[in-house]
Amino acid sequence: MIDSNTLPPPQLAILVLAIAFLYASVGFGGASGYLAAMSQFFIAPQIMSSTALILNLVVSFIAFVSYYRARFFAPRLLWPFLLTSVPAAFIGGLLEVSTNTYFLLLYLSLSYIAVRILFFRSISDEDTSSVRPLSLGVALLCGAGIGLLSGIIGIGGGIFLSPLIVLAGWGTPKQAAASSAAFIFVNSFSGLLGRAMSGSLELGVLGLALLPLGLAGAWVGSRLGSRYLSGAAVRRLLGVVLLIAVVRYWGEFLLS
């Protein structure tokens, strides 16, 4: 088992770079991808979750800046969810669950989202007339649920928020990407604070060595996603990224 004071293997370094690139292109921090990658190298769960959240902060911030500069950020798609998700993520970060439990929760959710994103039609970035009004009550409830689950698992939660916004018709794919990036940054910070207070935050040499790779991948991916990829391309890329992760997990789960 790799500890926090060991440099990451080259294979893991390459994976983190690729994950940051792919996830930042759709406004994500990539925590679920980092967790899946690190789990293949027998890294302790505590180190995995702490490192994933730190990487989330860096990658999601860069992604948000790119989408904000491209004028895709809509505050109405962020603040209602944050009102309840931040305290819920903090509470989730205080809770401890087994490795099997948090991976099961994560991949059950991602499996549903991947299928909906790839096989059900949603509005495009050009079809703004189809955007539906956001219900404050629904947003508050969804924010609390996403925040709690995110804090428990150790992710930022944007991977749940972005598909929710698109599937519900509350915003376009790129608006969802901008909101999810900001959502991830704030919730990751809240989750990290909860872990720090509970004494379960551990980064070390491993996390520090992975940060520059996450930064580089996020910078390139977020610029491509916000400026050059179409809304449909971003949506398909999101679905493919999720599908790769869930197929790999369920394949290993069934063979174990």
Summarised one tens digit per residue, pLDDT across range 77-136 is 999 999 999 899 888 878 877 777 777 777 787 787 677 667 765 545 455 556 778 888
Asked if 114 and 55 touch (Cβ cutoff 8 Å), the reply is no
Q: How far is CA 193 from CA 91, 100, 197, 198, in A?
A: 10, 23, 6, 9
Tokens of 54: 């730190």
Q: What share of the chain is helix, strand, coil (3-state, %, to 5)?
A: 75, 0, 20
The reported pLDDT for the residue numbered 80 is: 92
- pTM of the full structure: 0.76
Give the bridge partners for 2, in sequence order. 43
The reported pLDDT for the residue numbered 72 is: 87
The reported pLDDT for the residue numbered 142 is: 92
Radius of gyration in angstroms for the set of CA atoms belonging to the chain, rounded to a whole number? 17
- φ, ψ for residue 211 (rounded to 5)? -60, -45
Q: How far is CA 76 from CA 66, 90, 170, 175, 197, in A?
A: 19, 23, 10, 10, 31
Asked if 31 and 188 touch (Cβ cutoff 8 Å), the reply is yes
The reported pLDDT for the residue numbered 78 is: 92
Domains of the chain by residue range? 10-255
Tokens of 30: 């990539």
The reported pLDDT for the residue numbered 83 is: 93
Q: Angle at CA 221, nearest 5°, toward 144 and 151? A: 20
In which residue ranges of the chain is pLDDT below 70? Answer: 1-4, 113, 116-117, 120-130, 229-235, 237-238, 241, 245, 249, 252-256
